[in-house]
Every structure is written in structure tokens, then in C-alpha cells.
Structure 1
């Protein structure tokens, strides 16, 4: 008998599962704020008429830090134990493996062969708080150029500007994140 994967009709369903798994409010707020950055990226990619799986990005963002349920200290301290733990936890809930993999790939994009969608999850997780990562950004720009069949520099300008726009509003999102900690 084939195993039935847990599918989601919306990100709201993903948040509901996180709550069922006892995710702290701070974690749910975090993935919502990363989701804000991801939505700006998604809109930009749609305007470029890029073919991609926006549901994968949205669910990847919603679930990327699930392992912090098991490693709550990593909500406020650096650490990567949550990455493998999150993937394992989601797989135990019959979540699609490509979505569960975002738990690892958002932090290990330099070591793993990542899809465009996984790179966007990692990028949103950097930009949401105002952090720029040039290497990651250049990988995303390169993938977009390849997917569109254009030269890297033909897409650099509009994406670079959008990355800066998202990062510039990072302080506002970060402040909304800290409210739940206090």
C-alpha cells in the first residue's frame, strides 16, 4: 500500500500543523515574517514571467524552522541542530519530502544541490531581517537567468533592487519579531 502524503491547501494549514506540534508563538511569528519577504520575491518572479512552484516556496518557508520546536534554544541562539531534526519531524508527519528538505536546505544551501524554490526559501530567511548574503543572491540571480534563458546581467538589476528593498524593511519585521520575546 502506498503511503499518503500530508498535503496542504494553504499556508494557514501549515501553521495549524505547527501549532499541533507545539510550536512556540515566536516561531510561528518568525515564519510569517519570513513569508512576508518571500511574498515580495514571489511577486517579483511572477512579474518576470518565471515558471516556478510558488506553493513549494510558501510551504518551505512555513516549515523551514520546524526543528526549533525540538531545539527551542535555537530560536534565540545560533545553531543548526534544528535543520535535520525538522526534516525528520516533518517526514514523521508524512509531509512531502521536498518540502521537509527545506529544513536542511535553508541553512545548508552551500553544501547541497538545491532547487530554485529551496534557494528562495533560504534567501527569504536571510532578507526578512535585513541581512544580505551576496553569494546566495548571486545563486538565485543565476538560476533566474538560466530559467529565463537570459544573461545574468540582464536580470541582475531588477532582482538586486528588490533584494535591497526587502532588506531595507528588515528592521520593521525584526521589531515585530522581538515583541513576542519580551
Structure 2
């Protein structure tokens, strides 16, 4: 069982995560923290720790499939979930290994949509369909029209994405040292 992102990073290290993978999940975590802050400002009911843990481990399967760090592939998704479950990680956290990439399918929680969005936004990529699903999940919880949420969250998404190239640059620098 994981209690915080430090424990998640330690688990990834014990399982053989490269510095590059650890850097990646930490940079995705920066994007997630901005989303978490915006959710707190909206007075949402959500599990910030699930988001933090989900982001920290979402690419755990790349330990077993390191070629997917640089190239395409989805083998890391179920492999990561299975590996984490075998380590006693909570089901909801381990599930983020799959849902961060397969957010189009199934009934996802607000937290899972947030992990998926952070994984896109950290590098400056906007994914309109994913962002709308997240906005809709929030609008349903707040019992408001999605347009009441759209403007403020669209600004947050843009702010995160705008800093994406700087995070990518830091990613490259951090993995070289």
C-alpha cells in the first residue's frame, strides 16, 4: 500500500525505474499539482492523494518495457498495473497505469481523468476530448452546466500547456546529469 508520492517513487526505484522515468513522473506531477490547486479553488470533492499516487506510478510498466520510454507502445499499461498489484499497491492507484492512456474507454473517475490530463499537459499537449471529459465530470459533481466550468479550467489547461516546452527542456537536462 502506498501512502504518498515519496513512497511511490521509492517503490519505483526498488523495482528498477530509471532516472529518466522518475524525472518524467515528477514533471507530470508538477502539472497535476496545478490541476489539484484549481480543483481546491472550485471546492471540489476529490482525492488529491489518489491523483498524486496515480501520476507517480502511471508509467511503472515502462520499467518492464523501457523501449516505450522513447517509442510508441501500450504493453507498459497492463504490465504496470499487474506489477503494482503484485506489490500490494491499491487497486485504484494501480489502475491508473491503464486508464492514463485508455481514458476514452470505460467509466473513469475524476481522479483518473486528471492523471490522464496531467500526462498530456505536462509536455504542452492539449487533448480536447480528454479535457472535455474532465470538465464534464466536474460539472456533474458541481451540478452546473459544463460551460460554467469550461472557461476557468480551459485557462488552467492552457497555463500548464504553455509551460510544457520548459518542462520538456528540464526533462532533457535532468536525465543527462
**Could you tell me the TM-score, scaled by structure 2's length?**
0.97
Do structure 1's residue 39 and structure 2's residue 33 form an aligned pair?
yes
Do structure 1's residue 138 and structure 2's residue 132 form an aligned pair?
yes
Q: Show CA shifts across 1:115-158 (max 9, x none).
A: 11000000000000000000000000111111111111111100
Query: Do the aligned residues in 1 keep the contact of 2:19 with 2:175 (CA within 8 Å)?
Result: no
SS in structure 2 opposite 1:79? coil
Alpha-carbon distance in 1 for matches of 2:173, 2:76: 23
Do structure 1's residue 151 and structure 2's residue 134 form an aligned pair?
no
Alpha-carbon distance in 2 for matches of 1:147, 1:170: 29
Do structure 1's residue 114 and structure 2's residue 99 form an aligned pair?
no
1:3 is aligned to none
Q: Which runs of 4+ in 1 moved over 6 A?
A: none
1:68 Cα deviation after fit: 0.1
In structure 2, runs of 5+ residues without a counterpart are none
Alpha-carbon distance in 2 for matches of 1:56, 1:30: 18
In structure 1, runs of 5+ residues without a counterpart are 1-5
Q: Report the count of equivalent residues.
A: 176
**Could you tell me the TM-score, scaled by structure 1's length?**
0.95
Alpha-carbon distance in 2 for matches of 1:7, 1:25: 20
Do structure 1's residue 7 and structure 2's residue 2 form an aligned pair?
yes
1:181 Cα deviation after fit: 4.6
SS in structure 1 opposite 2:104? coil
1:176 Cα deviation after fit: 1.1
2:87 is aligned to 93
Alpha-carbon distance in 1 for matches of 2:85, 2:124: 31
> Among residues 114, 121, 127, which one is paired with 2:121 in the alignment?
127
Do structure 1's residue 82 and structure 2's residue 79 form an aligned pair?
no
- Taking only aligned residues, the RMSD between alpha carbons, in angstroms, comes to 0.8
1:165 Cα deviation after fit: 0.4
Q: What are the residue-to-residue correspondences of 1:66-77 with 2, within 5 Å?
A: 66-77=60-71
Alpha-carbon distance in 1 for matches of 2:10, 2:32: 19
SS in structure 1 opposite 2:100? helix
SS in structure 2 opposite 1:108? coil
SS in structure 2 opposite 1:135? helix
Q: Show CA shifts across 1:7-39 (max 9, x none).
A: 32x211110111100100000000000000000
